[in-house]
């Protein structure tokens, strides 16, 4: 009886092992077939996605065992980043080798810095989405970005604006996410629209003017060309809904130091003038 049980157990165990081996063989065969079939399919899917993007028409794709290799040229660094993102998100792609070359106009580093700074201030000014707080440094075409953003969306916008600027070969992200900026987000958007959507300021040398926000108080910093333009800017910022106080840290270029000292004392409620014309005239004597 005991021998019979042992024989039955051995037969069952042998059957299970045989079935398991058959299942493994079937799965390996399907996996091999799937991998073999997906080489061309994945390559075709990535290339078709590139063909739908006019900035990636000169990028070619090759694939082998789940690794996709990208070659060709693009006009901006951001196009290179976009190509890698598209390839990485394509089903069946395990890794991406990005050999794309950025063919952008050659520029001196100071010119690159100026162009990137202008894009960060003006490119989304109509939406109130500007980034004067971001410091830009270019070294041999490589742009380093430093400063605070409020979330990952703003970080992506900043990186995209810099990466799509002529002359930029690469972008190094040194940005920091500071959620505290969210507290005054609506006010910040409205004030930025006032500052950076103003055609008069855009045509002048008064940019950059920076604004900081804290519990309804807006501090304006930077230099401006004349007192009238400064008064106009302060008045329009005070009229922004959500602004309780405006602290004036603006400097009028070429104005006597005594007047600058008087102006720097200004921190007034909305609707009040920061300093009277009589005080300015008296400070000039």
Same domain, 162 and 148: yes
pLDDT of residue 203: 55
Any domain includes 21: no
Final residue belonging to a domain, choices 127, 148, 177? 177
Name the token pair of 262.
């008087």
Q: Which parts of the chain have pLDDT scores under 70?
A: 1-38, 125-128, 179-184, 198-208, 255-285
Same domain, 191 and 278: yes
What residue numbers bound the domain in which 241 lies?
182-283
Final residue belonging to a domain, choices 120, 142, 177? 177
Provide the β-strand partners of residue 135.
146
- The CA distance from 276 to 102, in Å, is 55
Helix (H, G, I), strand (E, B) or coil at 237: helix
Q: What is the DSSP letter of 181?
A: G
- Among residues 282, 265, 283, the alpha carbon closest in space to that of 274 is found at 265
Same domain, 277 and 227: yes
Any domain includes 258: yes
pTM: 0.56
Any domain includes 4: no
Domain count, the chain: 3
Q: What is the DSSP letter of 94?
A: -
Final residue belonging to a domain, choices 177, 206, 232? 177
- CB burial of 119-156 (b: ≥16 within 10 Å; e: otherwise) equals bbbebbbeebbbbbbbebebeebebbbebbbbeeebbe
Q: What is the CATH number of the domain that holds 77?
A: 3.30.1340.30
Any domain includes 24: no
Q: 125 and 197 in contact (C-beta within 8 Å)? A: yes
């Amino acid at each position: 009886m005991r021998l019979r049980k042992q024989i039955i157990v051995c037969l069952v165990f042998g059957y299970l092992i045989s079935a398991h081996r058959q299942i493994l063989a079937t799965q390996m065969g399907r996996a091999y077939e799937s991998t073999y079939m997906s080489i061309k399919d994945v390559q075709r899917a990535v290339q078709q996605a590139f063909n739908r993007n006019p900035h990636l028409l000169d990028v070619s794709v090759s694939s082998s065992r789940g690794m996709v290799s990208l070659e060709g040229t693009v006009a901006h660094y951001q196009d290179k980043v976009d190509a890698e993102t598209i390839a990485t998100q394509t089903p069946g792609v395990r890794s991406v080798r990005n050999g794309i070359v950025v063919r952008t106009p050659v520029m001196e580093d100071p010119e690159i810095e100026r162009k990137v700074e202008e894009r960060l201030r003006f490119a989304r000014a109509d939406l109130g989405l500007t980034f004067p707080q971001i410091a830009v440094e270019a070294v041999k075409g490589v742009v380093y970005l430093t400063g605070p953003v409020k979330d990952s969306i703003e970080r992506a916008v900043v990186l995209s604006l810099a990466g799509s600027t002529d002359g930029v070969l690469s972008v190094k992200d040194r940005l920091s996410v500071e959620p505290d900026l969210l507290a005054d987000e609506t006010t910040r958007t409205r004030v930025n629209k006032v500052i950076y959507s103003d055609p008069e300021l855009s045509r002048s040398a008064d940019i950059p003017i920076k604004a900081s926000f804290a519990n309804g108080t807006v501090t304006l910093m930077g230099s401006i060309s004349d007192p009238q333009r400064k008064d106009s800017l302060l008045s329009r910022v005070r009229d922004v809904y959500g602004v309780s106080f405006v602290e004036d840290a603006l400097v009028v270029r070429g104005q006597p130091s005594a007047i600058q000292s008087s102006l720097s004392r200004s921190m007034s409620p909305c609707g009040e003038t920061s300093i009277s014309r009589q005080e300015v005239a008296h400070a000039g004597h």
